[in-house]
Amino acid sequence: MHPIRTAAIIGKFARSEDTGPLSELAHFLAARGLSVLVEQHTHECMADAALVSADFARIGREADLAIVVGGDGTLLTVARELAPHGVPLVGVNRGRLGFTTDIAMNGMLPALEQILDGLFTAEERTLLDATVSREGHTLLRSLAFNDVVASRGVQGGMIEFRVMVDDEFAYELRADGLILATPTGSTAYALSSGGPILHPSVAGLILVPVSPHTLSNRPIVVGDGSRIEVVLLRAARGSIYFDGRDHHTLLAGDRLTVTTSPHRSRLLHPAAYSYYRTLREKLGWSGSPQPGA
C-alpha cells in the first residue's frame, strides 16, 4: 500500500450542527501531517471554510485513503465511485447495522490512529459489472457493491425470467424477483430472502429468487468468473435496482448481463477486526469465544 499523504472525508449529514465529528476528524488528520480533502456535498454541510472541497474525480486522483462516515449505504455508494481509482476505504458507522462501516463513532480517532500507524487488516471486496440491453442496444451499465436486483416493481403479479450461466441454460423462474449478490451483499437483501452468507474471501456470486412460485427454485452460488444473463420473459413492466438505489424500468425481452468487475474495493479495518465477531454482533448469534480460542 502506498504511503498515506492525502486523506478524503466523506459523510452523510443533513445539517451543519451534526458535523462536529467530521471537523474533529479533519483537524486530527491535519495534525498527523496529512492533506485533507472533503467530498463536496459533505463540505456543504460543514461550517469550516478552510477545508478543501473535492468531487469524487479529484478524490480518486489524489487521495491515498477515503474515510467514510455514515452507514453501509453510504459506504457502498462511495465504493462504487472510488473502486475504479483503487482508493482504500475506512468505514465509520453512524447508521444502524454497520456490516462494512465497522468502526464505532466513539472509537473513531483511536481506530484511525492505528490504521495510519500501519496497524490494520486489509481485504478486497468484489463488485459486479451489470449491463442492461434492449434489442441488442446497451441501455445502461453500472457497478454494484452489494447486489443487482430484477423485480416486478410496482405491478401486482409475478414476472418470469430465463437465467443463463456462461451461455448455458440454468432455469426459468416465476417469482417476485431475482437477486444477484456479491459475498458482501450476501448479508443484505439476499440474506433476508433466504440466501447463504458468503465470507468476503469466497470467489463466488449468489443467485437468490425472491418469493419463487416453485419452492424448488433455491439460491445457488456460482464462480465469480461466471457470466450471468437474465432475460425478462413475460411482464408488462419490471424494475432493476443497483445496490437498492439506481432504478431502471425493464420490459419483456430486456437482457441483464452480470459479471464480476475487474475493479475491487479495498477496505481497511483496525488490527483487531473480526468478520465473525461482526456477524455475531449484527445478527444476534449466541455464544462468546472461549478463552484461548
Instruction: Return the number of other C-beta atoms located less than 10 Å from residue 226's C-beta.
Output: 16
Residue 13 CA to residue 45 CA, distance in Å, equals 7
Within 13 Å and on the Cβ side, how many CA atoms surround 210? 21
Known catalytic residue: 147? no
Helix or strand holding residue 22 (H, E): helix 20-31
Q: Which of 48, 64, 72, 102 is catalytic?
A: 72
Instruction: Scan for cell 418470469, then name that residue.
Output: 160
Question: Contact at 8 Å (CB) between 178 and 158?
Answer: no
Residue 48 CA to residue 95 CA, distance in Å, equals 24
Residue 227 CA to residue 167 CA, distance in Å, equals 8
Q: What would the grid cell of residue 249 be?
A: 424500468
Residues with catalytic roles: 72
